[in-house]
Structure 1
Amino acid sequence: MVTAITEGIKVSVESTYQQEFSSPHQHHFVFTYKVTIENYSPATIQVLRRRWEIYDAGETLKIIEGDGVVGQQPVLEPGATHQYVSGCNLRSGMGKMKGKYEVEKLMDGKIIEVGIPEFQLIADVFDN
């Protein structure tokens, strides 16, 4: 698990290779990642947008941007936590991801960028 803290907002990510959904011989590797957002700041916040940079060892950089996280724009009071699971596919068995959230402090409307720490995507295809 990797963690980053920006202005009192902690983002932790844990990735898992999904062997049962992958086809290494067809260059199809599936990963899931669990993200935990914890609000340790004194302000109520809302996650408005996300931006992911996905690096595949066998390809170029892929940028994914959009509103919220998995169809939601969660509001977190001070001390609250939001957790979700998502996934990505790679053509190689190795890569990495990192990104940022656009977060609004609802008290004053200030927009901040919250870092999503870089994490590795490594297929453990030799475990069997």
Structure 2
Amino acid sequence: MYTAVTRDIQITVMPQYLADQSAPDEGRYVWAYTIEVANLGSRTVQLVARHWVITDAAGKVETVSGLGVVGEQPVLNPSETFRYTSGCPLSTSSGVMQGHYRMVDDGGGSFDAAIPAFSLDCPHAKRVLN
């Protein structure tokens, strides 16, 4: 589990390797990740956009940006949480994801809430120490 807090917005990520959707012999590795966004503050906020940076084990970097998450732009009142699950395919047996959510508070202010960097590791891959 990976957690970051920015301006009272706590983001927790739980990645999971999906062996049944992966095909290592074909260079396809798939992970699901569940994210929980918790409003620990006293203001209502809305998650309006996402920005991801995905890096595979070969150093290939892909950025993904867009409105909301899983087709939603959730509004979180104080003490509320929003949870969703999405996925990420890679052509290598490991990688790293990180990014941020653009949040807008009920006063019209906006800020980026950090999504903590988290590793995507195939449990069957050979470990290499650098």
- Give the TM-score normalised by structure 1: 0.95
- Other-structure match for 2:113: 114
Letter aligned with residue 125 of structure 1:
H
Matched AA of 1:97: M
> Matched residues in 1 for 2:30 and 2:95: separation?
11
Indicate the percent of aligned positions where both proteins have the same amino acid.
35
Q: What stretches of structure 1 of length at least 5 have no aligned partner? A: none
* CA distance in structure 2 between the aligned counterparts of 1:32 and 1:125, rounded to whole angstroms: 16
For 1:102, the equivalent position in structure 2 comes to: 102
Gaps of 5+ in 2: 126-130
**CA positional deviation for 1:124:** 1.2
What letter corresponds to residue 2 of structure 2 in structure 1? V
Q: Aligned runs of 1:16-55 on 2, under 5 Å?
A: 16-55=16-55
Asked if the contact 1:59/1:91 (under 8 Å) is kept, the reply is: no
C-alpha distance in 1 between matches for 2:59 and 2:118:
17
What TM-score does the superposition give when structure 2 sets the normalisation length? 0.94
Kept in 2, the 8 Å contact 1:19–1:125? The answer is no
* Large movers: runs of 4+ above 3 Å: none
Query: 2-side partners of 1:20 and 1:59: how far apart?
Result: 25
Shift of 1:25: 0.7
Q: C-alpha distance in 2, partners of 1:63/1:92?
A: 17
Q: Distance in 2 between matches of 1:58 and 1:90?
A: 10
Question: Superposition RMSD on alpha carbons, in Å?
Answer: 0.8
Equivalent residue pairs, number: 125
The alpha carbon displacement at 1:58 in A equals 2.6
Partner of 1:70: 70
